[in-house]
């Protein structure tokens, strides 16, 4: 079995090399599928992640005015909460990712879980901090991920890995 670090590096390289036209084509089709799903339609609050330029582009979801948008905030002890997104009230985390100034935890109706790779049992390889797996261990609501076609690969999950409920891809 190849290690997660290998897959992380491989996926970041593939994401960065993806042609912009193909990225946009897949993004539009995948977001159409997600936004047509029952879990998305029912959700009043949506937890998104602040995506890096090589990650799946969630701009369209951030612009959905019918949803309350929440984003992650990291806390001491490798913990995480979701707080209301306000583009004018963000600070840089220790990881260089924008996060809310607020420490008021909100409960999302649907979490869009980031990652670099997913397998057929909906387990994911994230960036290695374990923040989402720790949060999802106690979360009972629906979770989903969006990913490009090449990000679904075969790997063996580890015991602490928490699968998402649905993967939206091509």
Q: Annotated binding residues for ATP, as ranges?
A: 4-8, 124-132
Known binding residues: 4-8, 50, 55, 124-132
Give the angle 125-130-133 at the CA atoms, nearest 5°.
80
Phi, psi dihedrals of residue 33, rounded to the nearest 5°: -60, -50
Task: Count other Cβ atoms within 10 Å, centred on residue 163.
Answer: 18
Phi, psi dihedrals of residue 83, rounded to the nearest 5°: -130, 160
Known binding residues for substrate: 50, 55
Q: How far apart are the first and last CA of the chain?
A: 26
Could you tell me the CA-to-CA distances from 9 to 2, 16, 17 in Å, in that order? 12, 11, 12
- Residue 145's SS3 state is strand
- Residue 18's SS3 state is coil
Q: Which helix (H) or strand (E) holds 73?
A: strand 68-75
């Amino acid at each position: 079995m190849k290690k997660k670090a290998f897959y992380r590096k491989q996926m970041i390289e593939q994401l960065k090399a993806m042609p912009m036209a193909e990225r946009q084509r897949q993004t539009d089709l995948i977001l159409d599928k997600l936004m047509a799903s029952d879990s998305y339609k029912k959700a009043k609050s949506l937890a998104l992640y602040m995506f890096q330029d090589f990650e799946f582009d969630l701009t369209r979801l951030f612009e959905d005015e019918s949803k309350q948008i929440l984003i992650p905030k990291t806390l001491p002890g490798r913990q995480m909460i979701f707080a209301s997104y306000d583009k004018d009230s963000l600070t840089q985390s220790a990881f260089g990712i924008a996060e809310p100034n607020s420490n008021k935890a909100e409960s999302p109706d649907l979490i869009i879980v980031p990652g670099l790779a997913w397998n057929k049992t909906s387990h994911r390889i994230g960036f290695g901090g374990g923040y989402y797996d720790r949060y999802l261990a106690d979360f009972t609501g629906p979770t989903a991920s969006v990913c490009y076609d090449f990000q679904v690969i075969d790997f063996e999950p580890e015991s602490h890995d928490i699968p998402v409920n649905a993967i939206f891809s091509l």
